[in-house]
Structure formats: C-alpha cells, structure tokens
Structure 1
Amino acid sequence: MPTTTRIQAYEGRYALVDGIPYHLPVYARNSPALMAGFPIDATRAAALLPGNELHPVTLWDGRGLLLVTVINYLITSIGRYIEFSIAIACTHGPRPAPPLLPGMLIKRFGTGQFILDLPVSTEVSVKGGKGIWGMPKHQANLAYHITDTEVISHYEKDGQFAVRIEIDKPKKIVVPVNVGATNYCQFRNMLMASNIYFRGRAGIGLLHRANARLYVGDHPNVAALKTLDIDPQALFTLFIPAANGVLDDYFQCWFLTYDTPPATMPEGLESVVDLGRSETWLAPPREEDYAHYQI
C-alpha cells in the first residue's frame, strides 16, 4: 500500500477528535468495494464544481467522467457502515488540464474526484467524515449485495429513491490494486482535500466488458446528475472483494474563489456540532420502483 513512513510511524497509537476515539492509522479492512465510471458532458460537469480551482477531467470529444464508488466497510476505526460516493473526476489548478493526461500525471495536475454526494449508514461516520475531513456525508438508507452474478448497491433517503448501481460480478479476481486517491470536497465554502490508499485484488471490466447499470431517481440530492448526459455504457467497472484502506493523517484546505461575491453559504459547522457517535443504521431501503430510472 503506498502509504508514507509518517503514517507507518504512528501505527498502534491513538487519537481523540471531536469526541471520536481512533486507533491509528484510520483504517478499513477486508471490505468489499465496487466502482464504475460513466462518461458525462464535461461542460455540464464543470458547472457543478465550486469555485475556480477545480476542473473536470476530459476524456475525448468534450466528455468527462462520473465515478460511482460504494464500499461496504466491514472493519474500520468507527465500526461497520456503507459509504456510497458519487463524484466527478477532476483536476486542481489554475486552468483545465489537457485531455487524458491527468490520468498519467496525477501529481502534476492534482488529479482526484470532487464528491457530489456521500450518503453513509451511521451517524458517527457523518460526524467524523464531515467534521474532520469536510466530506459531504449524511445518513441514508443503504444496501450492498453480492450475488453469484452481480454486485449491487441501493441508496434511498426520506422514503425517496436516489441511486442504484449494479455491476456484473467479475469471474476472475486476479488484478493486484495498490493505489492512492484524492477526494476533494466543499465544506464551510472551503475546498478540502484528503488522501486514501487502497490495496487488494480486483476484477476489472473495460469498455464493452464494463457491464453496469445506473439508476438515478428524483431525490433532490441527486437531481444534478440528470443534467450531465450520463452515458449508459460504463467506461470501466471494478470490484475488490476484500479491500484494505488507510486514510492519510492530514488534509489540505484552501479558500474557494469566485468571479463575483458568493450569494449563499453552503453547509458548515452547524451541520455537525450536535451529532453523536451512534453506529445504528437506518432501515434498509425498499429497493422497489426503480427500474424506469435506468440511465
């Protein structure tokens, strides 16, 4: 796993942040993870990125990339929960990067993903993820299923269907994965960036072998996805049956800048100050009436 010697140095130490105890490093173990990437309209994606410093990754012909990543965290520093990430692949810098290069020159272009929505199963995950790293977490009704032929996750909130992702379960889990990724988030109208490192063995589908089905409902949290002209054919799929991950021990934070004075204040500290440490899940989603929402 591409972690730093700094992280390795505090193995076995402890931390206490906002009332949440951590056995360091902040980890996840043996947790099934699925991911799918769908081409989208890059110009429309740019409209969903805050400030002037983030830019959508462009693939070809003005297409960007929507990333749906769901991890069924079985063993973590704060208990078991599902995390359903919906994000736009992006770069960080004064101007957009050339097509395709951000995937090869990650550090140069600050390549990562801007998280649009991040429902999770438990209150303590919201408290830690949002309060410390600025991630847009909120508690929702989530499910994660692995069948003989598919890997599926379903997201609902307040009784309303939001998103469902299905990928064909790979027949072979043989590709070693050992990568780091940067998550960009907007919190307190600041740009937050944190790094996570994952390793495991994966089954990967590319191009015509990337069989995935994405369903987008009417919940307000995901309404913006319907503006992105999402291609129903995934560019890739990935499944890691037992992923192991570590969060880096620091995050970065910058002012978000705008060409005109911002008129509204997005979510801030008021959304986390009264949260507790409950590990109780909401009821499972109903998983019905979603078929006609397929992209």
Structure 2
Amino acid sequence: MARHLIQGRDVSMPVRVRDATVCSASYLVRADAARAVLAYSGLDAAEVLPGRALCTLAFVDYADGDLDAYHEFGVAFMIRPPEAGPPPRRGLRANLAELRRSGAGFFVHWLPVDQGFTLEAGRSIWGFPKELADIDLRLASPYKRCIVRKDGRLVLDLLVRPGFRVPAPGAATPADAYSHLDGVTRRIPWSVFPRGVRARPGGALVRLGNHPVARELSELGLPKRALMTLTVDHTAMAFGEAKAL
C-alpha cells in the first residue's frame, strides 16, 4: 500500500473522505476560450456541443476525511482523455453519454482550500493546484452560498439553489480527475458515493470580483445562466495514486 509522509503524518492510499457536502454549477463556455485556459496542461477540452465546452464551479465542505475537515472551491473543465478520438458532433445528451463511455474526466484548473495540511497533501500527492484562500461557506439556508477571497480580493460570490431530488447510484461512481503542477500533468483515479442528490437547470447566481481568476472566468463568458446546478447532501470519496501522463 502506497504511503506519503505529510507534515509528519503518514497518509495511506487511497485517501478517503467519509462525509462531504458538495454544491456545483456547470456552464457552457466557448471551447476555444477553454482551450486557451488549459493550454499549459497539454489536455483538450471536451466539446459537449460543437464549439462549446463545460466549465464547473464547485464548493465542498469536507466534514470528515483522512485530510481532516476543510473547505474547498474548484474551477474544473471536462476534458477528453488523451487516448480518445476526435470529438463527436451530436446533441448534448448524446455527446455527454459518449464522453462518459470514453472515460472523460475533469481537469482541476484552480483549487483553493482553507487549511494547510490538505494544501500540502493535495499538491505533493496528486499535483492538485491547491492554494490557501478565505472560503466562506453558508450551507444552512435553502440557498447554498460560497464567497471566495484571495489575498484580500474578492474572487467570486456563488449562490446555488437546490433543485429536484434525483436518484443516486447504488454503488461508488468511478471517474478520473486531472491535474497539472510543476510541469507534470497527472491522472488521478477518483470515486464518489453520493447521497441526497438534487439537480436543476440553471439555478445559480455568480458575482465576480477583481481577482485574476475572476477576470479569467469573465473571459470565459461568466456571469451567465448555468446549464445546471447540483447539490449533494452527503458523499463519500476515495482518491487513488496519481499517474504522470
């Protein structure tokens, strides 16, 4: 079993999250703009519609896990795996189904957290682009809210409205996350076991600040109507050993 020494603590693989709450908003953005953002990674944005890529903003309250309790915010893009062929040219639902079959995953472009242990673990074990930020999560109200500030500057204020309850899978769902740090792109096996899932078309309101990441999101076309929002009351996760591509 692989092990990593982080700040004097032994972290064994896979790293497990026993309980977390997740809220996300996904947006259709210009594929050429997404590719410009991802160029440093060598990966290709998946076109879920011709000329359109999928960008997801997510905030997570990790309540219980191997890396302790912490808050996290993420900017991620759906990508075609390096071994996949050319993108299809069909409708949104058919394209998403084909992408799932081909093993499409999400490239994590920006991943601020609010605790130092998970920061070091995320960067050294998986190459996730974690950095410290002020992440204010407000999950007790019917509307779920996340306010992210970095270096005293507002990055964004994201409000998500939970939707209709949808069936959760009866078993853990495998997926791949991708990261890039210090010139190396990595694939990370990841599985989730969600409970209490709600989804809806639209359902998000985002206000951008004056941080460089906010400007980057603005260049992608945000703020705009979300394609869909997703909330998960409780989920377990497992992260495997990263593999350099």
Aligned match of 1:113 = 106
Aligned match of 1:54 = 43
3-state SS of 1:169 partner: coil
Q: Which has the higher strand share?
A: 2
Q: Provide closer, same or farther for how the CA distance between residues 24 and 188 of structure 1 changes in structure 2, counting only shifts above 3 A.
A: closer
1:239 aligns with 2:231: yes
Q: Which runs of 5+ in 2 are unaligned?
A: none
1:236-275 pair list within 5 angstroms: 236-248=228-240, 250-254=241-245
Residue type of the alignment partner of 1:245: M
Aligned match of 1:179 = 173
Distance in 1 of aligned mates of 2:39 and 2:101 = 21
1:97 aligns with 2:82: no
Query: Offset of 1:115 from its aligned partner?
Result: 1.6
Q: Provide closer, same or farther for how the CA distance between residues 65 and 107 of structure 1 changes in structure 2, counting only shifts above 3 A.
A: closer
Residue type of the alignment partner of 2:15: V
Aligned match of 1:17 = 5
Of 73-82 and 147-156, the range deviating more from structure 2: 147-156
Q: Provide closer, same or farther for how the CA distance between residues 108 and 17 of structure 1 changes in structure 2, counting only shifts above 3 A.
A: farther
Q: How many residue pairs are counted as aligned between the two chains? A: 238
Q: Which runs of 5+ in 1 are unaligned?
A: 1-9, 255-295
Q: Conserved in 2, the CA contact under 8 Å of 1:211 and 1:234?
A: yes
Between the two proteins, what is the percent identity of the paired residues? 22
Distance in 1 of aligned mates of 2:43 and 2:3 = 32
Q: Conserved in 1, the CA contact under 8 Å of 2:143 and 2:161?
A: yes
Q: Provide closer, same or farther for how the CA distance between residues 37 and 107 of structure 1 changes in structure 2, counting only shifts above 3 A.
A: closer
Q: Conserved in 2, the CA contact under 8 Å of 1:134 and 1:185?
A: yes
Aligned match of 2:21 = 32
Query: Offset of 1:188 from its aligned partner?
Result: 1.5
Q: Conserved in 2, the CA contact under 8 Å of 1:41 and 1:230?
A: no
Query: Offset of 1:78 from its aligned partner?
Result: 1.9
Q: Conserved in 2, the CA contact under 8 Å of 1:93 and 1:110?
A: no
Q: Give the TM-score taking structure 1 as reference length.
A: 0.73
Distance in 1 of aligned mates of 2:210 and 2:118 = 25
**Aligned counterpart in structure 1 of residue 218 of structure 2, from 210, 218, 226:** 226
1:71-220 pair list within 5 angstroms: 71-93=60-82, 96-99=86-89, 100=92, 103-106=96-99, 109-170=102-163, 173-177=165-169, 178-207=172-201, 210-220=202-212
Q: Conserved in 1, the CA contact under 8 Å of 2:19 and 2:236?
A: yes
